[in-house]
Chain A
Amino acid sequence: MTATALPQPIQSREHGFWHAVEVIGCYLLGALWILPLLYAVWMAFHPAEYEVRFDLTAPLTLANFVQAWNAAPFARYFLNTFVLITVILVSQFVICTLAAYAFARYDFRGKTLVFMLVLIQLMIMPEVLMVENYRTMVKLGLVDTVWAMGLPYMASAFGIFLLRQAFLTVPKELDDAARVEGAGPLGILLKVYVPLSRPIYVAYGLVSVSYHWNNLLWPLVITNSVSTRPLTVGLQVFASPDQGVQWSIISAAALMTSAPLLIGFLLFQRQFVQSFMRAGIK
């Protein structure tokens, strides 16, 4: 997407003092926004005594990260989060693709009603129904498993909606051509629809990964052991204020648990922003 700057009527005439004030205001707002994060980075990379003493000559250290890493099983938490988002993402791609294809290219009785029933999930997120969903997981014997954390999110209404919109734009002629060549419904889906919708898959994937990397409430309810807890729940257990952990170590742990998303964002900034845009424009 080319960033076409909004034209600014009579800009040149108002140059000078007020223009400068305005520009400084913009930078101040930006600085204000990034400051909390920069401060966290400062705390994480300096010894505890510099927490509130801003000193440019303060020695840099990685000790906070080492201490945080050793104080809680973060390696395990990373693995759990990685497994969780992989399971959710793969399931969402498969389940939402199939459903979106049915909605985009088939006529069947009750289509409108079923579509409405899908869209309901946009408003009622699984965490709102945590009491009943917890009960269901108890009945299924799945409490404290990856499946319990993932299952309520797999049939994502958002994913179905997004992919349906993408599939609707695929020219019907391509579909017909594949059919003439003898491809079945699944063949057409895999050879025509999925490849043509790749940008939407990337967008949806980024939104989904960041959502589930950050999700706390439902995993907090449904997990109770180190071997299943994702990073967010692990961080919550680790950094409770009553644990007496130092702030510099808490900052290090907080940055550590967000690091993959942060690095991902810095590397793919454009795609990230665009994917959120695409996800928003329905």
Chain B
Amino acid sequence: MTQGRNQITAWLLLLPAVVLLAAFTHIPAVMTLVNSFYNTPRGARPAKFVGVSHYTDMLSDPVFLAALKNNAIYAIGTVPVAIGLAMLMALIVNSSIRGKGLLRMSFFLPTILPMIAVANIWLFFYTPGYGLIDRFLGLFGFAERNWLGDGSTALGSLMVLAVWKEAGFFMIFYLAALQQISPSLGEAAALEGAGRWYFFRRVTFPLLMPTTLFVLINAIINSFRLIDHVIVMTRGGPDNASTLLLYYIYQTAFRFWDTGYAAALTMVLLALLAALAFVQFGILDRRVHYK
């Protein structure tokens, strides 16, 4: 077989994937950049070049700034908690506790369900006065609250749901990592009389580090991507208290039909994701050497 024929075969095999990736990832990404410098065409008026004005507008756009701030709070608030719980869950279901199959199922089940379905159920839990949370807190004498309708609790309520939904998913990665830790390490530690907490701190936790980094990046990416619960539960409200970046893009593009500005917003999100990608590839590279 000649070298040239090999080249042709390889490219023919790649053709469908390359065409689709170009059409729905690369070209749109470039077009988003181009369009972010134009305003939105309206009716007969074509799009006009506006330079970086969308970007400068953003700096004084209170909704954009709120979305950015909310997304940061959302990520900083949910990611460490979800990861910590995931690690704990993995340790539990990897221990010799009875009924661990049932426990694993309990932890993992929320992950399997559509976010839209669980968001609808949680919408009920958060109902002021009537919902499960207010009923429960009422037992201890707490006043009823409009969890989703109050600017000070709306984002937090979404975050609780996100942690509940995602922790079980991250647990799976930790479980995989735990099962790769050699049992002889534990035996050696036991012989030396090391306590369990000591063993976790000095052996298990460091060995889980690569997994933690991997999960961390993916969790942050998810925090920018998953907005189904925002759509169902708060629609960004009240008064943009729970708007996340992708939700604001969705709103700008498909509620206000301002595609030019939406393109500029998308570029901000892409820049954030690119920065994360950069970190991830760096980390994954090191992880390969680590093994």
Contacts and interface: CB of A to CB of B under 8 A. Distances in A.
Interface of A: 1, 3-11, 14, 23, 26-27, 29-31, 33-34, 36-37, 39-40, 43, 51-52, 94-96, 98-99, 101-103, 106-109, 111, 114, 117-136, 151-152, 154-155, 157, 160, 185, 210, 213-214, 216-217, 220-221, 231-232, 235-236, 239, 241, 247, 250-251, 253-255, 257-258, 261-262, 265, 269, 272-273, 276-277, 280-282
A155 B35 contact: no
Contact of A40 (B116, B121, B195): B121
Given A33-B167, A250-B124, A277-B176, 17 more contacts: A107-B10, A114-B18, A120-B26, A129-B24, A130-B249, A131-B253, A131-B259, A132-B27, A151-B23, A216-B115, A216-B231, A235-B114, A235-B116, A236-B232, A265-B112, A276-B169, A280-B176
A191 to B, nearest CB: 16
A98 B13 contact: yes
A129 B269 CA distance: 10
Given A6-B204, A221-B250, A124 B116 contact: no
A151 B16 CA distance: 11
B191 to A, nearest CB: 8
A282 B94 contact: no
A216 B114 contact: yes
B52 interface: no
A57 B113 CA distance: 29
A3 to B, nearest CB: 7
Contact of A39 (B132, B164, B246, B281): B132
4 interchain residue pairs of minimum CB distance: A7-B186, A132-B28, A155-B20, A106-B10
A272 B250 CA distance: 32
A280 B183 CA distance: 22
A215 to B, nearest CB: 8
Contacts of A3: 94, 179
A26 B92 contact: yes
B106 A124 contact: no
A282 B280 CA distance: 12
Given A27-B103, A30-B106, A247-B124, A9 B10 contact: no
A130 B253 contact: yes
A258 B178 CA distance: 30
A257 B97 contact: no
B91 interface: yes
B31 interface: yes
A189 B135 CA distance: 60
Interface stretch (B56-64, B70-78, B151-159, B220-228): B220-228
B18 to A, nearest CB: 7
Interface in B205-252: 214, 221, 225, 227-228, 231-232, 246, 249-250
A232 B114 contact: yes
Interface residues of B, number: 108
B10 A128 contact: no
B26 A106 contact: no
Contacts of A23: 97
Contacts of A276: 169, 172
B52 to A, nearest CB: 18
Contacts of A255: 117
Contact of A33 (B31, B107, B187, B231): B107
B183 to A, nearest CB: 5
Contacts of A102: 9-11, 13-14
B105 interface: yes
A106 B113 contact: no
A232 B176 CA distance: 30
Contacts of A136: 23-24, 28
Contacts of B95: 5-6, 8
Contact of B121 (A6, A155, A157, A251): A251
Contacts of B97: 23, 26
Contacts of B101: 269
A217 B25 contact: no
Most chain A CB within 10 A, of B11, B17, B168, B269, is at B17
10 contacts: A6-B186, A9-B186, A102-B13, A106-B6, A123-B221, A123-B273, A123-B276, A128-B266, A132-B32, A280-B176
Contacts of B250: 130, 217, 221
Contacts of B266: 128-129, 131-132
B266 to A, nearest CB: 6
Contacts of A101: 13
B274 A123 contact: yes
B49 interface: no
A250 B103 CA distance: 27
Given A185-B13, A273-B108, A131 B263 contact: yes
B137 interface: no
Contacts of B186: 6-9
A118 B14 CA distance: 11
A8 B92 CA distance: 12
A254 B287 CA distance: 40
